[in-house]
């Protein structure tokens, strides 16, 4: 019993923190504040338990049912709150406090009940052993099974079923010296069955609830949603200038709009391909949608594209989803494209292949796990993987909306020995957007294009892209290192001012 409630209690904590990091970003801040408040609430619950002297068994059962209902519904309720109310932070921290307090009540009440049958020494040893084992089980199950297989909403609801099940079973097995309390167990069984039915209905309707939340959060109609092990992947559709377009959202952040993604991807790929001496071996970091690979495949002489994207759900979508296959022109199914689902920082460190062009198309550095892919440590590895005469390009967020973040990426690349040429283009879905082109030796930015059939990029627009107006000029910023993650702070501070 202790094992089950400890497992469920830890999962509630992780689910709430994960939801907050998904919708608010800055995962370190969200996890640290929520875990800190949750632990404090556990202590509050333990303290409150000392004031409960009567009907301990019945109180424990009702605490289990309350934890099951509130903790189990935490993820879907928070998704809805973020989409439909302006009081998300109040609801978030209120839920943490309530669920933490209920979970904090569980173990002291149960230990007092079991203390009627066990010696104090055996009671403490057994209770704490199973409590800590439950914490391990919850943490491993959350990351390895629950989120990858069920998603956040169903994960919290399933753990609610565990708490409710403990409450129901407890009506038969918990000791009670109070005859009136034992008679009350019949009503507790009815409440437990009711909570189990509510949570089961929630599991059956969880996709609809998540879709309802996302329909309010994203413009257009949600046509696909999946909770992978690493992120929430959503495709939406809307009418744009009289015709349908669709958008890819990762954890609520727009990745592209089919109305104008060609601008972004042409500007990302072709300057580097033009600058490079050879085009046989190409590496793409990120880009699981296949759109960067599509542009690379326009060039003659491409023999191999090595695409390294962490999330197999994203690359599978690029390979199999009809909308993405049409948009990437079957690039992900081209025999020259070799997909590796791995952390790019680890993969490039462990594989010593060298590439003529490396394209880093990672999501914006909204958190530290992404910020490391823009760090001096990572760029030093990339420097070693680039051939002499090879070219690197990094998508580098907006030099208008996130000025210091943009120039921090440039400074970080230069700190490891790269020579750089920053540039920018206008992408309507994003606004003014920036990239950094880099090579091992001094070079002049490309002025012509040896590839035809592009929809946006021309020699004239290419030359203009390397000129910056006064409000986007270079500023002095520190290098982004693993131990300071300056880039993440610059990025979050900048975008907070524009929201």
Report the sign of the C-alpha dihedral through residues 5, 8, 11, 15, in that order: negative
Q: How many CB atoms lie within 10 A of CB 31?
A: 18
DSSP single-letter state for residue 442:
-
Residue 134 CA to residue 12 CA, distance in Å, equals 13
Residue 22 tokens, joined: 């998904």
430-435-440 Cα angle (round to 5): 170
Residue 224 CA to residue 345 CA, distance in Å, equals 29
Residue 499 CA to residue 26 CA, distance in Å, equals 15
Residue 92 CA to residue 367 CA, distance in Å, equals 20
State the residue for tokens 């580097």.
272
Which of 94, 122, 111, 148 lies closest to 5, judged by CA?
A: 111
Residue 34 tokens, joined: 């929520």
Residue 23 CA to residue 317 CA, distance in Å, equals 22
**493 catalytic residue (yes or no):** no
Q: Active site residue: 257, 260, 361, 410, which one? A: 361
Active site residues: 361
């Amino acid at each position: 019993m202790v094992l089950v409630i400890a497992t469920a209690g830890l999962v509630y904590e992780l689910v709430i923190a994960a939801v907050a990091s998904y919708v608010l970003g800055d995962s370190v801040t969200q996890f640290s504040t929520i875990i800190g408040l949750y632990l404090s609430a556990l202590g509050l619950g333990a303290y409150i338990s000392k004031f409960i002297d009567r009907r301990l068994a019945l109180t424990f059962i009702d605490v289990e049912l309350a934890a099951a209902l509130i903790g189990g519904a935490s993820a879907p309720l928070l998704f809805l709150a973020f989409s439909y109310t302006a009081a998300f932070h109040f609801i978030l921290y209120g839920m943490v406090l309530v669920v933490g307090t209920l979970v904090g009540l569980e173990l002291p009440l149960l230990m007092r009940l079991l203390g009627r049958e066990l010696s104090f020494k055996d009671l403490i040893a057994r209770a704490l052993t199973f409590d800590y084992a439950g914490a391990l089980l919850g943490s491993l199950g959350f990351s390895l099974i629950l989120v990858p297989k069920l998603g956040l909403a169903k994960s919290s609801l399933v753990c609610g079923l565990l708490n409710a099940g403990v409450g129901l079973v407890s009506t038969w097995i918990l000791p009670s010296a109070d005859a009136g309390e034992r008679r009350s167990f019949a009503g507790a069984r009815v409440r437990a069955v009711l909570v189990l039915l509510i949570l089961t209905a929630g599991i059956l309707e969880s996709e609809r609830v998540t879709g309802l939340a996302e329909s309010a959060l994203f413009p257009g109609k949600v046509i696909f949603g999946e909770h992978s092990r690493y992120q929430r992947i959503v495709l939406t559709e809307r009418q744009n200038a009289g015709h349908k377009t669709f958008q890819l959202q990762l954890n609520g952040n727009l990745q592209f709009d089919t109305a104008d993604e060609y601008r972004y991807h042409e500007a990302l790929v072709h300057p580097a391909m033009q600058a490079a001496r050879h085009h046989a071996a190409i590496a793409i970091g990120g880009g699981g949608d296949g759109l960067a690979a599509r542009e690379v495949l326009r060039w003659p002489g491409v023999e191999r594209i090595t695409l390294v994207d962490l999330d197999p759900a994203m690359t599978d979508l690029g390979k199999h989803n009809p909308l993405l296959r049409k948009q990437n022109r079957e690039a992900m199914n081209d025999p020259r494209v070799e997909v590796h689902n791995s952390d790019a920082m680890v993969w490039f460190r462990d594989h010593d292949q060298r590439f003529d062009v490396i394209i880093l198309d990672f999501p914006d550095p909204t958190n530290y796990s992404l910020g490391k892919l823009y760090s001096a440590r990572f760029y030093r590895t990339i420097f070693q993987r680039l051939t002499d005469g090879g070219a690197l390009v990094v998508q580098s967020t907006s030099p208008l909306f996130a000025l210091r973040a943009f120039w921090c990426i440039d400074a970080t690349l230069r700190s490891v020995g790269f020579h750089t040429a920053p540039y920018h283009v206008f992408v309507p879905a994003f606004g003014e957007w920036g990239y950094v082109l880099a090579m091992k030796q001094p070079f002049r930015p490309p002025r012509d294009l040896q590839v035809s059939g592009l929809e946006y990029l021309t020699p004239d627009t290419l030359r203009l892209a390397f000129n910056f107006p006064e409000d986007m000029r270079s500023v002095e910023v520190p290098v982004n290192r693993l131990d300071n993650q300056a880039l993440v702070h610059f990025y979050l501070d900048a975008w907070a001012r524009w929201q």
